[in-house]
Amino acid sequence: MPVYYLCAIVIPLLHLQSVVGKLTPWCGVIDYALVDRNYTTINATKNQKLCYQACLKDSPRCRSANYRPRDQECDLNCASHFDVCAGGGLVEQSGSLYTFTASEIGCLDSPAPTCCEKSAVFSWGDKGSEWKLIFKGVAGTGIKLYDLWTNTTDVYSECCGHCCGQETLFNYWKNERLNVKRVKLSLYDHTGVKVELVFNGTADVTSWFAKERLVSSPWSDLTPTAKTIYFSVFGEVTDGLVDRRFYISKEHNGCPYDLGWMVVVDSKRYCEWEQGFSSYPAIMYSTINTAVNWKQERLDKTLGIADYLTIHIDTE
């Protein structure tokens, strides 16, 4: 089996160019921040896209940005991690999204190292672990998780062209050149993992998320033979009204009586139970061992709201 590589300095990477229209190409780095180079903080920034746009407007002074969805704070930085003369450092910071432009080349009088230096390259996946992380989607960034998962050419290594042309596990899977035995979808909040679902794998990057392929879930009433209306990555989409992805729904009886297990509300909000978030996407799930009434559980504040979603695969 081939060895897969990823740039270690910017992990995990999201290639966002294809989902933000005609903006200058940009990259995001989850759970990292550039420290000691912030020259201003913009409060009440609803999503990561707006934070990045603010940085572009203040170019060339602004060279990167840190965005914290939970606090809606946007730090504008006078340097990026490519700027080796700046002295700042990229550090792990839970809940922060670091953003930089694709055109960054470092100091004018000193060549900046690329993320493809041999010392910064490693084999993708935890050593000794059967599960390999290939995707992490964060709530409240303004970037649709469905678009990130399905529309990018390569979720990780193609980002900004800094990754030496190495192909990732996701790209191999998307091109049906990888035998995926199992897929694990997990939901997290600030306390840790809250939900794990395991599926039998498929050659396709979307068809694995299906009731008949379900191996295990935290919900006793969700089985391969359970009654469901929606159980798919595509979910339920109605132009101008509904944008529900990674959707597992039990019943639709009018908004106050909708029942389900989990959903990613990517943008549009039709029912009361999917409204009221300061920014989207919103990741919602049942905190009990059965499907929930979305509206009632939201009112009772017992409906789970996740901070991010991950997808791992187990390959042969």
CA–CA gap between residue 312 and residue 137 (Å, rounded): 12
Which residues make Cβ contacts (< 8 Å) with residue 299, sequence separation at least 6? none
Q: Supply the pLDDT for residue 168.
A: 63
Q: Supply the pLDDT for residue 1.
A: 36
* The pair of three-digit structure tokens given for residue 245, joined into one six-digit string: 């992805």
**Eight-class DSSP state of 71:** T
Q: Supply the pLDDT for residue 180.
A: 92
Which residues make Cβ contacts (< 8 Å) with residue 57, sequence separation at least 6? none
| SS3 state of residue 273 | helix
225-228: which pairs have CB atoms within 8 A and are 24 or more residues apart?
226/250, 227/251
* The pair of three-digit structure tokens given for residue 163, joined into one six-digit string: 């990754």
Count the neighbouring beta carbons within 10 Å of the beta carbon of residue 116: 16
More confident residue, 48 or 266: 266
Amino acid type, 265: V
Q: Alpha helix locations (H) across the chain?
A: 48-57, 145-150, 169-174, 294-299
Q: What is the pLDDT of residues 155-186, one digit of tens each?
A: 333 233 333 233 467 778 888 888 899 999 99
pLDDT (mean) for 22-46: 78
Band (pLDDT 50/70/90 cuts) for residue 16 is very low
Q: Supply the pLDDT for residue 6.
A: 25
Q: Are 267 and 243 in contact (CB under 8 A)?
A: yes
Torsion angle, CA of 168/174/176/182, rounded to 10 degrees?
A: 80
Domains and CATH numbers, the chain: 5-125+154-174 (3.50.4.10), 180-315 (no CATH)
47-50: which pairs have CB atoms within 8 A and are 24 or more residues apart?
47/140, 47/141, 47/142, 47/143, 47/279, 47/280, 48/97, 48/99, 48/141, 48/142, 48/143, 49/20, 49/23, 49/141, 49/142, 49/143, 50/74, 50/142
Q: Are 171 and 15 in contact (CB under 8 A)?
A: no
Q: What is the pLDDT of residues 268-285, one digit of tens each?
A: 788 999 988 888 999 999
Q: Supply the pLDDT for residue 101.
A: 62
> Percent of the chain scored above 70 by pLDDT?
73
pLDDT (mean) for 115-130: 36
Q: What is the pLDDT of residues 183-232, one digit of tens each?
A: 999 999 988 999 999 999 988 899 999 999 999 999 999 999 999 999 99
**Eight-class DSSP state of 74:** E
| SS3 state of residue 57 | helix
